Amino acid sequence: RAFGPAGFLEQDDSENWCEIQKLLKGHRARNSKLCLEMGLGQEKRRDDGIPGITNYIFSETAARGMYQRWADLLSSESWQEVLDKTAAYQQE
């Protein structure tokens, strides 16, 4: 969908991603807020039976979900608390 027949990356993309990672360690990047707002407010629940929240093809919904999940795992005292936070996130 995004770059090549494999869906995301092709062999010549690896250098680009390595350089991006180097830039993210720089002074300017460390002193800037990370913006993950693309597609914010446009999320929707799937109606085809597949669980989860989706968005238009170009959005950061998946990244926000991943960081939310990571925060939930780090801050929860029990597995039940993780499940409760997941259910609450999907209702928002």
What's the whole-model pTM score?
0.59
pLDDT in tens, 16-50: 778 888 888 888 888 888 788 888 888 887 788 77
> How far is residue 59 CA from its own chain's centroid?
9
pLDDT in tens, 46-88: 788 777 777 767 788 888 888 889 999 999 999 999 999 988 8
Rounded CA-CA distance 37/63 in Å is 10
User: Is residue 68 within a helix (H) or strand (E), and if so which, with residue range?
Assistant: helix 61-75
CA angle 82, 64, 90 (to 5 degrees): 50
Q: pLDDT tier at 11 (50, 70, 90 boundaries)?
A: low
Which string of DSSP letters, residue by residue, matches 6-47?
TSS--GGGHHHHHHHHHHHTSHHHHTSPPP--TTTT--EE-S
